[in-house]
Amino acid sequence: MSSSVFQNQSSHRISTHGVGSVLRSIFAYRISCVGFVIILMLVIMAVFAPSIAPQDPNVQDLYHVLEGPSRRHLLGTDDVGRDLLSRVIYGARVSLLVGLISTAFSAIIGVFVGLIAGYKGGITDMIIMRITDTFMCIPGLILLLVMAAALGPGIHNIIIAITLLGWTGFARIVRGQVLIIRELPYIEAAHAAGASGFRIMFKHLLPNAMAPVIIAVSMTIGGSIMLESAAAFLGLGVQPPTPSWGEALRIGYSYLEIVPLFSIAPGLMITLAVLAFNFLGDGLRDALDPRLRGEGKKVE
Amino acid sequence: MSIKPKNSLLQVNNLKKYYPVYTGMFLKKKIGDVRAVDGISFEILNGETLGLVGESGCGKTTCGRSILQLDPPTSGSVIFQGKDITQLRKQELRAIRKKIQVIFQDPFGSLNPRMTARNIIGELLIIHGMTDNKTEYHEQTDHLFMSVGLDPAMADRYPHEFSGGQRQRIGIARALSVKPELIVCDEPVSALDVSIQAQIINLLQDLQERFQLTYLFIAHDLAVVRHLSDRVAVMYLGNIVEIADRAELYINPLHPYTKALFSAVPIPDPEIERTREHLLIFGEVGSPFHPPAGCKFHPRCPFAKSVCREEPPFPGKTIDDNHWVACHLIQ
Amino acid sequence: MIDRTMTPLLEVRNLQTHFFTDQGIIRAVNGISYDLHEGETLGIVGESGCGKSISAFSILRLIPNPPGKIVNGEVIFEGTDLLQLSDREMCAVRGNKIAMIFQEPMTSLNPVLTIGHQVMEPMVLHQKIGKKQAIQESIQLLSKVQLSEPEARMNSFPHQLSGGMRQRVMIAMGMSCKPKLIIADEPTTALDVTIQAQLLELMKGLTRDIGTALILITHNLGIVARYADRVLVMYAGRIVEKATAKKLYSSPSHPYTIGLLASVPRLDQDLKKSLSPIEGQPPDLLNLPKGCAFHPRCRYRIPKCFTQSPELEQISDNHEKACWVDVH
């Protein structure tokens, strides 16, 4: 009796069909709601940067370098007299771009690899997973350094490097899901129906393995923004004069005692962006996967 | 086996399904087999229902899966319409899937939760190219919905919006969609409540009449099997121990295990149930990994003799045309 | 024989257990009352979701809260209302005076403790006896439930036993303090019929030996027919019929009971007879119909059934039903 009542409950919760219900579940949890609003603001900032930014971020004003906040420069100026507020606003472009594109690539590669490994099993699975393990052993920053040394710094190489680091997580998640799902009766039913391997993978396994992928996407975007900032901080990211938070942090760091805002402002932005994506991911996990919820012990 | 009826649709000959067991971390060494199905033979006639009963672990589900080629047998043959289907190539096997369909036990797990009922039912039509355009697809699936007693207006809902009995109807409609000749029903009603169970049983009987279906009905509930089947095979630990027409089997069970099974099923009537004789057997079902020597039932058999401990009771004895039993004690 | 003139061992009065969920209130047990006498076996039958298990869990106050809550009623056991006891006092009742045997023998034993440890636990806890004596008594108990090699089994872990053997251990644990009442919630549903028959015979014998009352919760009408003295039939959180086993099966009076009996295939019935199922779907507990909860599926319904919910009424000695219609 009890189990059947509760079963219905959980199936109500997990039932997420389409984008609409994912959005609905985002708003069901306060924490993901906060994350979502911050992300929305960052995206607006990045897309409409030319209209929002008070000044051109690349115009140097050597008469006003390293100034504190003033009416003309709300956050002050940097070491060559550029408006810091405008540079921070434009900086969102690089961070979000790198975060979104590298995560998209990671997810596509990882999902595909994980799906094949989990579905095929046996020797295919073993080889694929050993390759994945190898990639997971590579320390992130060292790969960034090596890539920059070999291919030169720049946004493309940063995206490639972050993708190389990120896809393994997706592959593992999807493989784990597929290993569970492929034992379920409806997969057996698909086999009995005469469905092809391709159909079983993309029609039956993938849609049912997507919930943790959606969560991981959100978390990975945050991580990628972090990595991009780290790379920029080491001077390996986008090249000047393109505004970037990591780059600003790196230069501002030298003038920390003179104009603290120079490094605090971009630093805060990085923190805020990473936090927002993690919040969203946390909330999504609560919504999509009730088993992992903090208060999971209580029967709902 | 000696039952030789005409018009056989499916013949299973000495079917075996062993699952190897390995030990060791790096150098895997085979230490034996789990003998899930250990050499069974039977025949299913056109238009009949063959019941396959037994307790959990007796291999009845594995037998069904082997016939469906979901779990290819270790040895033996499965001859469907005169053709051995254990040796088919992928394309040929897909054609067979159109003719042999399956209904699963679990009405919650056997439907993809991310597909609408219509697409679940219609999937086979698409896979086997039996539908030309969207309108036709809609008509066909609506029709299937109605034939299993569901309202086509609900076709575009997802599985979790249906009750257990309705989901099982969806599973049945899926199996029917390709107009199969044989349906393997693997415990199709055991997960359902009694009032719903009766609805599904009646539906299965009704559909059999309307579409001239042949069923292999796998279940552990003897009363349900008796109600639905024309002939019944009883399995114990990977072997069939008795096959007979249902009337014959229920009136005159010969194998001690069959007798024990019947007497263990309580009859819902206190007057009869409390006065009839009960043959209780003791002990637990043996392990298919280390099956007992001789007759596999002998450790639990109240009538076991020394011959039962030493020799397997095969090839069994034919009592008359419709009754076969594998027991040393039957002369 | 059971003396029905004495004060009953257990009196359940107007018990209501509700679950407060995001989707609404589930009235899992919605006002049920019954008595149970010493040494009596009471069968509670019904389909999944009818509240039969929740009503039994409520007696021991084992309802997860939130979302569940016993909102009303009395459970008077040996003169005291269990619902008024403190948590500590309740612990002294559980396992000691009232024991419970669950459906799932796999999960109701702790996988990391030995069988011996778990069988001894209630004895040590409630009877305050020494360890040596507890070991002796546990071995005796395990041999009483016909577990093979009881001494060796004391040191086994649950995963080393089969489902039937685990359920024997559960029965031994239930019996260990010679309780006054045992509540068995679908004790054999997960087991094979031959094992089921062994276990039920065993339970019946043991309860008879020590004079324990038994509440047997099951969906299997055959088991109830064989073992129960009296039977409650539940539907959607309410008792719809209450009778001695003989009366219930010989003259079922509620349309639901009649329907249930007509929908199970029987080993002894005429082969040509087709089943007459109860049409329609099981009730949606979040959205129960007005009036009698069974009316949408009932073939005997009258206009009154749509608006008014019937109460249990006596129709003959030891036979009550909750229905507006006289069905025969």
Answer whether residue C274 shows pLDDT above 50: yes
Q: How far is C19 from chain B (nearest CA, A)?
A: 20
For domain C10-265+279-321, give the CATH number. 3.40.50.300
Is B87 an interface residue toward A (CB < 8 Å)? no
Edge-first strand order for the sheet with C238-244 is C98-101, C181-185, C213-218, C41-45, C230-235, C238-244, C319-321, C313-316
Mark A6-19 as b/e (b = at least 16 C-beta within 10 Å): bebbeeebbebeee
Domain boundaries, chain B: 8-99+180-325
Per-residue model confidence (pLDDT) at position B276: 83
Q: How far is C129 from chain A (nearest CA, A)?
A: 34
Residue C314, burial from CB neighbour count under 10 angstroms (0-12, 13-18, 19+): exposed
Nearest to B175 by CA among B208, B137, B134: B208
Is B101 an interface residue toward A (CB < 8 Å)? yes
Per-residue model confidence (pLDDT) at position B6: 57
CA–CA dist C43, C245 (Å, integer): 8
Yes or no: say if C76 and C9 are a contact pair by the CB < 8 Å rule. Answer: no
CATH topology of domain B8-99+180-325: Rossmann fold (3.40.50)
Give how far the C-alpha of residue B49 lies from the chain's centroid of Cα atoms, to the nearest Å: 10
Structure tokens at C115: 């069988």
CATH architecture of A2-292: Orthogonal Bundle (1.10)
- Nearest chain B residue to C165 by CA: give it: B284
* Residues ≥6 apart with Cβ < 8 Å to C32: C12, C14, C15, C51, C55, C232, C234, C237, C238, C239
Chains touching C (3+ CB pairs < 8 Å): A, B
pLDDT tens sequence across C67-122: 888 998 999 998 889 999 888 888 888 888 898 888 876 677 888 888 888 888 87
Q: How confident is the model at residue C8 (pLDDT cuts 50, 70, 90)?
A: confident
Nearest to B154 by CA among C281, A288, A6, A204: C281
Give how far the C-alpha of residue B125 lies from the chain's centroid of Cα atoms, to the nearest Å: 25
Yes or no: say if C215 and C181 are a contact pair by the CB < 8 Å rule. Answer: yes
Question: Taking CB atoms and an 8 Å limit, are B114 and A184 in contact across chains?
Answer: no
Domain boundaries, chain A: 2-292
Per-residue model confidence (pLDDT) at position C272: 67
Yes or no: say if A175 and A124 are a contact pair by the CB < 8 Å rule. Answer: no
Residues of chain A scoring pLDDT < 70: 1-22, 25, 289-300
The gap between the terminal CA atoms of chain B, to the nearest Å, is: 17
> Which run of H or of E encompasses A186?
helix A185-193
Per-residue model confidence (pLDDT) at position C3: 62
Q: How far is A64 from chain C (nearest CA, A)?
A: 59
- Nearest chain B residue to C230 by CA: give it: B270
**C-beta neighbour count of A78 within 10 angstroms:** 24
Per-residue model confidence (pLDDT) at position A22: 66
How far is the CA of C64 from the CAs of C17, C74, C304, in angstroms? 11, 18, 37
pTM of the predicted model as reported, rounded to 2 decimal places: 0.85
Question: Taking CB atoms and an 8 Å limit, are C265 and B227 in contact across chains?
Answer: yes
What's the whole-number average pLDDT of chain C? Answer: 87
Looking at per-residue pLDDT, the higher value among C324 and A68 belongs to C324
Yes or no: say if B195 and C277 are a contact pair by the CB < 8 Å rule. Answer: yes
- Which among C48, C264, C276 has CB closest to B268? C264
Per-residue model confidence (pLDDT) at position A178: 95
C22: chain A residues, CB-CB within 8 Å = 9, 300
CA–CA dist A185, A192 (Å, integer): 10
Per-residue model confidence (pLDDT) at position C328: 65
Question: Taking CB atoms and an 8 Å limit, are C57 and A2 in contact across chains?
Answer: yes
Looking at per-residue pLDDT, the higher value among C67 and C245 belongs to C245
Chains touching B (3+ CB pairs < 8 Å): A, C
Chains touching A (3+ CB pairs < 8 Å): B, C
Q: pLDDT tens for chain B, 331 residues: list them.
A: 444 445 889 999 999 999 988 877 677 788 888 899 999 999 999 999 999 999 888 889 999 999 999 988 999 999 999 899 998 888 899 999 999 999 998 888 899 998 999 999 999 999 999 888 899 999 999 999 999 999 999 999 999 889 889 999 999 999 999 999 999 999 999 888 888 999 999 999 999 999 999 999 999 988 899 999 999 999 999 999 999 998 899 889 999 999 998 888 888 888 888 888 888 787 778 888 888 888 999 998 888 889 999 888 888 888 887 899 999 988 7
Per-residue model confidence (pLDDT) at position C105: 64
Q: Provide ipTM, 2 decimals.
A: 0.85
